[in-house]
């Protein structure tokens, strides 16, 4: 499947389409299938208009079997509205990539479906969607996704070992039918990258002490500290901070 972006400029009372230059594909990982694979999706999406008048596009190739490859392309326009490529930046592995490598049966549908749900805020059309940064913050390693009647809401945070290996924390609510603002995120699990290039659940306890069942976990939008608090009073009961090797409780 291919999703593309078209650009139009206004000329009086009419709009005319600007022909975009041929966009380079992002570099695929070594384990990836070819772009011609029927299960591979290619998407080109506008993500920002810069104050300079340049347009930033994200081109992405994605396959549930191996993840995704993505790059940001900056397009400039001259006085005649001719479009040229100003810059191409291959995106590094981020929380989005590791999220796509989670087990396929972890959610009600493959992770790619819920990535799109988070990107659009659950809206059908991108023009209705909220700012991407509200739900997906690749810079700080945080994702938040609302659920539906079958899938509970969940948050994801990316931590890293000192050698750079990823550690993904997944926190989700237990009742899909509960409205988002009333959800209690009471389930927490961790995942690490395996030799097969997929994320696998960590079987041993990651927190330094057992947390009683009637608690709520809050993953960090910034920083490396997980909060444990009372679901009703919201009083913070524990703070666990990642130091690159393990979580330590703060006094």
pLDDT at 133: 57
pLDDT at 132: 54
With a cut of 90, say whether residue 183 has pLDDT above it.
no
pLDDT at 32: 72
With a cut of 50, say whether residue 44 has pLDDT above it.
yes
pTM attached to this predicted model = 0.79
Give pLDDT tens digits for 210-239: 776 678 999 999 999 999 999 889 999 999
pLDDT at 125: 47
With a cut of 50, say whether residue 251 has pLDDT above it.
yes
Give the residue extent of every domain in the chain. Answer: 2-90, 95-249
Q: Are 17 and 6 in contact (CB under 8 A)?
A: yes
Integer angstrom CA distances of residue 149 from 22, 122, 146, 174: 41, 13, 10, 12
């Amino acid at each position: 499947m291919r999703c593309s972006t078209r650009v139009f400029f206004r000329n009086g009372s009419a709009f005319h389409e600007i022909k975009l230059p041929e966009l380079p594909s992002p570099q695929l990982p070594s384990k990836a299938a070819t772009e011609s694979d029927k299960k591979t999706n290619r998407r080109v999406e506008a993500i920002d208009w810069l104050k300079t008048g340049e347009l930033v596009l994200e081109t992405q190739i994605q396959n549930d079997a191996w993840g995704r490859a993505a790059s940001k392309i900056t397009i400039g326009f001259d006085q005649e509205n001719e479009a040229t490529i100003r810059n191409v930046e291959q995106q590094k592995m981020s929380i989005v990539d590791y999220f796509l490598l989670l087990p396929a049966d972890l959610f009600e549908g493959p992770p790619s479906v819920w990535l799109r749900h988070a990107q659009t805020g659950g809206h059908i059309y991108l023009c209705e969607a909220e700012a991407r940064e509200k739900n997906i913050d690749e810079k700080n390693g945080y994702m938040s996704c609302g659920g539906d009647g079958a899938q509970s809401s969940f948050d994801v945070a990316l931590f890293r070992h000192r050698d750079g290996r990823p550690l993904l924390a997944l926190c989700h609510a237990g009742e899909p039918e509960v409205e988002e603002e009333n959800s209690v995120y009471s389930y927490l699990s961790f995942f690490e990258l395996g030799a097969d290039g997929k994320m696998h659940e960590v079987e041993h306890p990651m927190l330094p002490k057992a947390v009683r069942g009637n608690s709520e976990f809050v993953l960090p939008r910034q920083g490396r500290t997980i909060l444990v608090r009372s679901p009703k009073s919201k009083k913070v009961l524990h703070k666990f901070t990642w130091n690159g090797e393990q979580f330590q409780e703060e006094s």
